[in-house]
Amino acid sequence: MIGTIASSLIIGRAGIWFDQYGARLVAFCAAIVLAISLFLCSWSVHMSTFLKEILNQDTWLIPFTIMTVLFFLLRFAGQGVLTMASRNVIMIWFDKNRGKVNSFSSVAISFGFSSSPLWINYLIENYNWQSAWQFLGYGLLVASVLIYTFFKNKPEEFGLLPDGVQEKLESNVKTIAVHKQFSLKEATATRAFWMYSLMLSFNSFFVTGLTFHIVSIFKSEGFPKEDAIAIFLPASVIAVSISTIANFLSDYLQLRLYLYLMISGGIIASIGFLFLSTTLGIPLLVIGFGMMSGFFAVLNTIVWPRFYGRNNLGAITGKVMSFLILASALAPSIFSLCFSTFGSYQLLGWLGLIFLTFLVLGSLKARNPQ
């Protein structure tokens, strides 16, 4: 939690680096740092033993400090900078076709997330956990070469406009309309920024907390571990289906519709969470979970360039990313605190419904500021 919170506090600076130095350099450096962090994780036991011998101290603070620093690097370079840069570089190169392109990347991301436990577990079982870290590190080194080779910062640098339209200077040629380019300060002054950010943050909080405590949550309602784990597959199918269709249609529809559908998914999931022991509890939780995850893949990518332009996209998405990382950092501890204090997770469901009701009302005027 400490490493994740620390990452959320400085990820906004990485967004500014993105705007200043471009996607290519920022993503390349993030991939290298992430690869080094993975290798260091594989050597963490040796590092801890070495420091204990040097300092002549046999205390839990040494391995705790090492893993906190390493987890900060993993969160900052991986979930933060590399994710943000990879997502933004696609959005910079497309305008009218952003949704269509994002549908492909969303499917790839969903497939990666859903399949990663399988092949990571394979590496651990057939080798060991240290080798698994190292295999991932080698993969990141290869990815860094691909990033440096194929990432391009802006279409304007190559005489193009977004969507591959050739840039023409003749006065009689109609070009793509120029939108206002919002600064971070201007963006945060709009209601839309906060409503979308808060809903995306709620998704990060709910999904992270649910994932970390899924077995405990289901056990508290009388369900076995197998039933708890089983919800992820149908939820993933719903999420991938929604994100694919919604991404494609986002080029033609107002995003506020998606915001309300995502809020509706949160309400359905919260109701299912509250009444998990009933017949409809698990189906409602799965449907709501899938809806939120599906629309998250759309809104977290499409909203910011459409609403606020491309010039300061890094600073704006960096700010949003800090909210998401902070929410995911706090979720496991808050879920655990709720259960240890009240003996139940019910309070979180009621608080979620109250928060989502606030978003329903607050989003009535959360229009595109363009």
- Cα-to-chain-centroid distance, residue 138: 23
Q: Are residues 299 and 331 in the same domain?
A: yes
Rounded Cα–Cα distance for residues 85 and 29 (Å)? 11
In a domain, 175, yes or no: no
Listed in sequence order, the DSSP H helices in 230-345 are 232-249, 255-274, 281-308, 313-342
Q: Are residues 149 and 231 in the same domain?
A: no
Domain extent for 313: 184-359
* Tokens of residue 235, six digits: 């939820």
Residues linked to residue 160 through DSSP beta bridges, in sequence order: 166
In a domain, 370, yes or no: no
Q: Is 166 helix (H, G, I), strand (E, B) or coil?
A: strand
- Cα-to-chain-centroid distance, residue 103: 16
Q: Are residues 154 and 194 in the same domain?
A: no
Q: Are residues 146 and 225 in the same domain?
A: no
pLDDT at residue 259, rounded to an integer: 96
Q: Are residues 227 and 348 in the same domain?
A: yes
Q: Which of 81, 351, 75, 107 is nearest to 206 (CA)?
A: 351
Mean pLDDT by 10 residues, the chain (370 residues): 78 85 91 94 91 88 91 86 88 85 81 72 88 94 94 84 62 51 92 96 93 90 86 87 91 92 96 92 94 91 91 90 90 93 92 96 90
Rounded Cα–Cα distance for residues 177 and 175 (Å)? 6
Contact present, 203 and 328 (Cβ < 8 Å): no
In a domain, 169, yes or no: no
* Tokens of residue 150, six digits: 């194929």
In a domain, 368, yes or no: no
How many C-alpha atoms does 328 have within 13 Å on its Cβ side?
20
Q: Are residues 30 and 150 in the same domain?
A: yes
* Tokens of residue 259, six digits: 């915001």
Q: Are residues 202 and 329 in the same domain?
A: yes
Q: Which pTM value belongs to this model? A: 0.84
Exposed, middle or buried by CB within 10 Å (0-12, 13-18, 19+), for 284? buried
Q: Are residues 221 and 315 in the same domain?
A: yes
- Region label for 343, one of left (φ > 0), alpha (ψ between -120 and 50) or beta (otherwise): left
Q: Are residues 201 and 129 in the same domain?
A: no
In a domain, 280, yes or no: yes
* Total tally of structural domains belonging to the chain: 2
- CB neighbours of 242 closer than 8 A, spacing ≥ 6? 290, 291, 293, 294, 295
pLDDT at residue 335, rounded to an integer: 94
Contact present, 41 and 340 (Cβ < 8 Å): no
Q: Are residues 331 and 196 in the same domain?
A: yes
Rounded Cα–Cα distance for residues 33 and 336 (Å)? 32
pLDDT at residue 165, rounded to an integer: 63
Q: Are residues 125 and 218 in the same domain?
A: no
pLDDT at residue 166, rounded to an integer: 59
In a domain, 264, yes or no: yes
Q: Which of 219, 204, 234 is nearest to 345 (CA)?
A: 219
In a domain, 265, yes or no: yes
Rounded Cα–Cα distance for residues 262 and 241 (Å)? 14
Rounded Cα–Cα distance for residues 215 and 220 (Å)? 9
pLDDT at residue 39, rounded to an integer: 95
Look up the CATH number of the domain holding residue 10: 1.20.1250.20
Distance between first and last Cα of the chain: 37
Q: Are residues 154 and 202 in the same domain?
A: no
In a domain, 369, yes or no: no
